[in-house]
Homo-oligomer: A and B are copies of this chain.
Amino acid sequence: MSNNNALNRLNLLKDHISRPTGSIDLEKERSNASFNVEHMNWLFCGSKESAKALSDAYQMIQRDPDLYIPGGHSFDMTQPQQRELVQRQALRFQRVRKTLKDPLLYKALELAMCIYSETFSMKTYVHNTLFRQSIEFFGTKEQQDEWMDDVLNWRIIGSYAMTELGHSSFIRGLETTATYDRVRDEFIINTPTLTATKWWIGMAGQTATHTVAICQTIIDSKSYGIDWFIVPLRDRKTGQLLPGVTAGDIGAKYGRNGLDSGWIQFSNVRIPRKNMLMKWSKVTEDGNYISPQNPAIAYTTLIGERLTVLAGTQNALGRALTVACRYGCVRRQGVNNLQIMDYQTHYVKLVPCVASIYVINIVDRNIKSRWEESTKLIQTNQSEFLKIVTDIHATSSGLKGTITWWGSEMFERCRRSLGGHAYSSYNAIGPAIGDWGVNTTGGGDNSVLLQQTARYLMNSYKEMIQGKQLSGSVEYFNNIKQFSKINKSDLLNEKQLYDMKYNLDMYTWLVKQKEDSSITWNNNQISLIRLSELHIFRYCLSEYIQGISKYRNSIPEFQNLCPILTKLGQLWSIHLIYESLNEFLEEGYFGKEQAIIVRNAYFGMCKELRKEIIPLVDAWGYPDFILQAPLGKFDGDVYKGISLDLSPVVTVTRVLSNS
A residues engaging B (CB < 8 A)?
Answer: 2, 4-5, 7-9, 11-12, 15-16, 19, 75-76, 78-80, 83-84, 87, 90-91, 94-95, 153-155, 157, 163, 165-170, 172-173, 190-195, 197, 199-200, 205-209, 234, 236-240, 243-244, 246-255, 260, 262-263, 265-269, 333-335, 337, 343-345, 348, 408, 412, 415-416, 418-426, 430-431, 433-434, 437-438, 440-442, 445-447, 524-526, 529, 581-582, 585-588, 591-592, 595, 603, 639-640, 642-656, 658-659
Given A2-B243, A244-B4, A423 and B437 contact (CB-CB distance below 8 Å): yes
Distance between Cα atoms of A111 and B569 in the complex (Å): 52
> Nearest Cβ distance between residue A623 and chain B, in whole angstroms?
22
Cβ–Cβ contact B262 & A647, under 8 A: yes
Distance between Cα atoms of A343 and B525 in the complex (Å): 8
> Nearest Cβ distance between residue A413 and chain B, in whole angstroms?
11
Cβ–Cβ contact B209 & A244, under 8 A: no
Q: Closest chain B residue to A200 by CB distance?
A: B420
Instruction: Given contact pairs A4-B268, A343-B525, enumerate 7 new A-B contacts (beta carbons under 8 Å).
Output: A205-B647, A238-B649, A248-B647, A251-B425, A253-B430, A416-B447, A422-B441
For A650, list chain B residues within 8 Å (CB). 80, 83-84, 87, 206-207
Q: Closest chain B residue to A197 by CB distance?
A: B644
* Residue in B431, B586, B644, B654 whose beta carbon sits within 8 Å of that of A87 in the complex: B654
For A655, list chain B residues within 8 Å (CB). 87, 90-91, 154, 157, 207
Distance between Cα atoms of A263 and B591 in the complex (Å): 54
Distance between Cα atoms of A639 and B263 in the complex (Å): 13
> Nearest Cβ distance between residue A207 and chain B, in whole angstroms?
5
Cβ–Cβ contact B194 & A15, under 8 A: yes
Cβ–Cβ contact B333 & A206, under 8 A: no
> Nearest Cβ distance between residue A645 and chain B, in whole angstroms?
5
Given A207-B651, A441-B418, A651-B206, A76 and B237 contact (CB-CB distance below 8 Å): no
* Residue in B170, B419, B652 whose beta carbon sits within 8 Å of that of A335 in the complex: B170
Given A173-B333, A430-B437, A586-B592, A424 and B658 contact (CB-CB distance below 8 Å): no
Distance between Cα atoms of A247 and B5 in the complex (Å): 12
> Nearest Cβ distance between residue A45 and chain B, in whole angstroms?
30
Q: Closest chain B residue to A2 by CB distance?
A: B243
* Residue in B243, B425, B653 whose beta carbon sits within 8 Å of that of A254 in the complex: B425
Cβ–Cβ contact B16 & A639, under 8 A: no
Q: Would you mind naming 12 contact pairs between A and B with Cβ atoms under 8 Å apart? A: A4-B243, A15-B194, A154-B659, A199-B420, A206-B648, A206-B650, A253-B430, A420-B442, A420-B445, A423-B442, A430-B434, A586-B592
